[in-house]
């Protein structure tokens, strides 16, 4: 499923990135360009990051934009 329509970034790409190493929305912006245009995708991208992490500390990191 496409999460970021503007940049054609899928939930799979976000999940792969989030599972490779702890990441925050700013990492997705820098590395995948998620949210760099209309930014409507940021809540959904954050949900994917949270789904990938059962670690509370990583979830806290994901809230840093
Ligand atoms: Fe991601 Fe527009 S949908 S920047």
- Residue boundaries of the structural domains of the chain: 2-62
**How far, in Å, from the CA of 45 to the mean position of ligand 1?**
10
Averaged pLDDT, 1-19: 96
Can you list the positions of beta strands (E) in 11-65? none
| Bridge partners, 9 (sequence order) | 4
pLDDT at position 55: 59
Atom of ligand 1 nearest to the CA of 39: 4
Contacts with 8 (C-beta within 8 Å, 6 or more apart), sequence order: 2
pLDDT at position 58: 52
**Which residue's CA lies nearest to atom 3 of ligand 1?**
4
pLDDT tens string 25-61 = 999 999 999 999 999 999 999 999 999 876 555 555 5
Contacts with 30 (C-beta within 8 Å, 6 or more apart), sequence order: none
Tell whether the model's pLDDT for residue 21 goes beyond 80. Answer: yes
Classified as helix, coil or strand, 18 is helix
**How far, in Å, from the CA of 59 to the mean position of ligand 1?**
22
pTM reported for the whole predicted model: 0.81
Q: Write down the CATH number for the domain with range 2-62.
A: 1.10.10.1100
**How far, in Å, from the CA of 42 to the mean position of ligand 1?**
8
């Amino acid at each position: 499923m496409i999460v970021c329509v503007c940049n054609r970034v899928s939930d799979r790409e976000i999940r792969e990135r989030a599972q490779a190493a702890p990441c925050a929305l700013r990492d997705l912006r820098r590395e995948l360009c998620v949210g760099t245009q209309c930014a409507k995708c940021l809540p959904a991208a954050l949900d994917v990051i949270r789904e990938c992490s059962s670690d509370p500390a990583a979830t806290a990191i994901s809230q840093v934009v």
